[in-house]
Structure 1
Amino acid sequence: MTPRKPDLARQLLDAATALFAERTYEGTQMPAVAQRAGVGVGSIYRYFPSKEALGNAAFQHAKRGLLDELADALGDGGPGASTREEFGRFWCGFTRFASSRPDAFVFLEHQQHDTFLDPESLALAAEIDRIAADFIARGQQAGAIRDGSAEQLVALAIGAFTGLVKLHRTEGLGGISPDALAQAEEAVWDLLHRKAPR
């Protein structure tokens, strides 16, 4: 039996995402995507009529993958979890995504996307921001997370996680010992949680 040929659209998305992570969206040309995917340039345009269409498809594919990981991680525990436990699930979702799809994580978090994102991509990005901001607001109401703008606190936490991924880009998060990863999680939680009064 002949092995099934991989889905070409997915192959193109993977090639584009890898190049966007390496060179940024702006620095990637369509012929380079075709070469990485092992196809002719015309093959791209059968699936994606423009570079913007390819960029949005890659962005949406990556964001949906992150949303799926977060949904799985947040669904792992039962109701009534503490704010700290819920943060641990967020951390687990981000860690699993960054470990299994490092190029997608770098593409999503290490560059600006406002030059090409369409309304569907912007709505998807806003959905993840909303989930994170809701978590912060619930934690603040419970007295577990420090006061301040939810958006700013989310940016601090995600920025710290993004820096960790960047630091370990060559070996990936799988190369970090469980103890070191747990220490990093605790340090990021320390950015968020409300300190007990002295």
Structure 2
Amino acid sequence: MNIHSVAPKRPDLDRLLIDSALALFAERTYEGTQMPAVAQHAGVGVGSIYRYFPSKEALGNAAFRYAKRTLLDTLAEALADGGPAGTAREEFARFWRGFTRYASAHPDAFVFLEHQQHDTFLDPESRALADELHRVAADFIERGQHAGAIRDGDAEQLVGLALGAFTGLVKLARPAGGLDALPAEDLDRAEAAVWDLLHRKADR
């Protein structure tokens, strides 16, 4: 007789709670969401939340880190598609595809990341993850500037301009069903318009 008991597989309740939190944060904002509402959305008792996340701040940071890591992974996959990019324009197209895939697959997470302020609750680990994404984007801008393909200017500001334009597009598309509902030619035109914000115009 085997005296060693087999521990039951733990249900992925922490992920369910994070998904519920992201859905409510996107709808009501972080500040407007209470822990009992997250429990109700997830279909569990309030006590279940506190076994995984001892505070709302802990849940908020877990949701932020999950959303940010997923975005970084999606961008890394898109940037690696087809091997090294030959030009800054080609690399931008891969960034665009990565953000489009992420916003389509994780709409609540995108809204949470881009439409809200997080300074009130982010811990050092979450802030470091946020900085990592900024570094990836700013590095692309700086390399493009050195190659003469991207206009002069502060890299962080240029990233903000491009990301703000993309965020606005997502916001406009959300009531109609999200980016997936937009015709491909509309997405292509939007991509070209955002690139036009960044690229260095030829001297006349």
Q: TM-score range by the shorter chain?
A: over 0.9
Equivalence for 1:60: 65
> Any idea what SS the aligned residue of 1:169 has?
helix
Separation in 2, partners of 1:180, 1:5: 45
With structure 1 as the length reference, what TM-score do the two structures score?
A: 0.96
Superposed CA deviations along residues 102-126 of structure 1, whole A, max 9, x for unmatched, are 0000000001000000000000000
Separation in 2, partners of 1:37, 1:186: 40
Match of 1:24 among 24, 29, 33: 29
> Any idea what SS the aligned residue of 1:78 has?
coil
Separation in 1, partners of 2:131, 2:99: 17
Equivalence for 1:136: 141
Equivalence for 1:35: 40
**Greater C-alpha Rg:** 2
Summarize the Cα distance change of 1:25–1:73 in structure 2 as closer, same or farther, 3 Å threshold: same
Separation in 2, partners of 1:78, 1:174: 26
Runs of 4+ in 1 over 4 A off after TM superposition: none
Q: Does 2:198 correspond to 1:192?
A: yes
Write the letter of the residue equivalent to 2:109: A
Deviation at 1:24, TM superposition (A): 0.7
Equivalence for 2:119: 114
Separation in 1, partners of 2:132, 2:84: 22
Separation in 2, partners of 1:120, 1:56: 9
With structure 2 as the length reference, what TM-score do the two structures score?
A: 0.94
Write the letter of the residue equivalent to 1:8: L
Q: What is the percentage of aligned positions where both structures have the same residue?
A: 76
Write the letter of the residue equivalent to 2:197: L
Separation in 1, partners of 2:41, 2:89: 42
Deviation at 1:81, TM superposition (A): 1.6
Superposed CA deviations along residues 27-66 of structure 1, whole A, max 9, x for unmatched, are 1000110010001110000000100000000000000000
Q: Does 2:157 correspond to 1:157?
A: no
Superposed CA deviations along residues 171-197 of structure 1, whole A, max 9, x for unmatched, are 111001111000000000000000001
**What RMSD over aligned residues (CA atoms) do the two structures have, in Å?**
1.1
Match of 2:187 among 178, 181, 187: 181
Write the letter of the residue equivalent to 2:54: P
Deviation at 1:77, TM superposition (A): 2.7
Write the letter of the residue equivalent to 2:180: G
Runs of 5+ unmatched residues, structure 2? 1-8
Deviation at 1:7, TM superposition (A): 1.3
Separation in 2, partners of 1:180, 1:81: 25
Write the letter of the residue equivalent to 2:123: D
Separation in 2, partners of 1:115, 1:36: 24
How many residues get paired? 195
Runs of 5+ unmatched residues, structure 1? none
Equivalence for 2:6: none
Deviation at 1:79, TM superposition (A): 2.3
Separation in 1, partners of 2:119, 2:26: 16
Summarize the Cα distance change of 1:6–1:184 in structure 2 as closer, same or farther, 3 Å threshold: farther
> Any idea what SS the aligned residue of 2:108 has?
helix
